[in-house]
Amino acid sequence: MYFPVAFQVLFLAQLAALGWGANLRILSKADIEVRPVLQLAQLPTAHRNDDRPDDGLHQNVFRLARVLAAVTAAGWLLSALASSPAMRTWLTLLTYIVLVSIVVLPQRILYHTVRMQFLGSLVRIVVPSMVKPVFLSDIIMADILTSCARTFADIRLVACQFVSLAWPSEVSTCTDTGMVGALLVAMPYAFRLRQCVNEYLNAAPASAEAKRHFANAVKYASSFPVICLSAMHRRAEIEASSGVKQSGWILRPAFGLWVLAVAFNSLYSYYWDVAFDWNLGHTRSGWKLADFVVPPASASSAPSSLPRAADEMSELAVSRELVTPGDALARDIYEPTTKRSFPRLLRPQLRFARTWLYYAAMAIDFLLRITWTMKLSSYIRIDQMAFGGFWLNVLEVYRRWQWTFLRIEKETAL
């Protein structure tokens, strides 16, 4: 079957885009207004919505995804029917050029607002800043990029194919010794780490908010030892295949350190998903999983995504002076946790009625968190299986898809 890495990358990107549209669609059906949660109106590039304003955000995302998918499918089909490898590479390059041109097109056509929001988010993620605000939409986008970490290394292989068209003699320079691939895999984690450091520096010193951002930064920093040790092993394998003798006393401890790094990163990341990103793990006595990092005595009383002025509003809301009788959500937010009855290990406020979805999400997230380390590592040669790496990427796209649901739902249930 003709399904090279170049089109695997495009397919995964299309799948992630369609998944984002599905997120928005299902959240809309659940009466969750996504635009204020994502702070879209506060973005520096915010402007009027000229993408069929009467339609929902998810409809414009779906329409743009369909256009890009049609171009990808046409390019893949033409490449599969090409008679020579060189022609296939040219058609693949043309497909990439058309797709990139559509996304960056400055004219107010082809769902301009959605495209500009996407590009603006990428720019804010990539360009370092320690003073500018970090929007929830950028946080979610950066987290999605971490799920595509190995795809960044695959894009390098695609670029090497394109380089071979113009400079065939330079193909040898594209041989991956493990280090370049490791840097590309680490890039999304570095972007997200920078956001955490940014939020930490802008939080009040020694506050619960600062502690939370610092602990979150530790989570992303813990991915670097996994990536570096995997790259070290990959380089040793390449040198061994070239006849260079390797010292076992170096590789054996490196493998042990890799196991420890993987265990810490995977379990800590899973804990963070459940305790902080989803705000689950509450008990009826008032204790919750997040108390391991932010003790209840110092926990902030207002959600981090709200402006500081919301703290004063919440105090007034508790006294019921500013909460109207019809404002059921506000009453739920400030009802004391100890007086509420809720499903075990979840939380008092749930926007989805089917509680088994939360339990299933926790179980699936744990399994896929562990499985994803197979793709990050060169110790486990999953790529030797037929499309093994591709299917692991698909599973990670699904994991991030379900994570996004509860990440946004949590913000509206606080």
Burial of 114 (0-12, 13-18, 19+ CB in 10 A): buried
In contact, 242 and 189? CB cutoff 8 Å: no
147 closest CA partner among 19, 276, 246: 19
Q: Where are the alpha helices (DSSP H) in 273-351?
A: 309-318, 328-333
Distance set, CA 66 to CA 18, 110, 155 (Å)? 8, 11, 22
DSSP class per residue in 38-85: HTGGGSTT-----S-TTS-HHHHHHHHHHHHHHHHHHHHHHHHH-SSH
Q: How far is CA 33 from the centre of its chain?
A: 21
Give the other-Cβ count within 10 Å of 155's Cβ.
16
**The pLDDT value given to residue 49:** 60
The tokens describing 184, both together, are 């590309």
Helix (H) or strand (E) holding 114: helix 112-126
In contact, 146 and 192? CB cutoff 8 Å: yes
**For residues 60 and 52, what is the distance between their CA atoms, to the nearest angstrom?**
8
Record the pTM.
0.83
Helix (H) or strand (E) holding 221: helix 208-221
In contact, 163 and 88? CB cutoff 8 Å: no
The count of residues in the chain is: 414
Which mean pLDDT values do the consecutive 10-residue runs of the chain (414 residues) have?
89 94 92 89 67 71 94 96 90 95 92 92 91 92 91 83 72 60 91 96 91 95 91 73 60 80 93 96 90 68 40 36 36 40 90 93 93 57 67 91 95 83
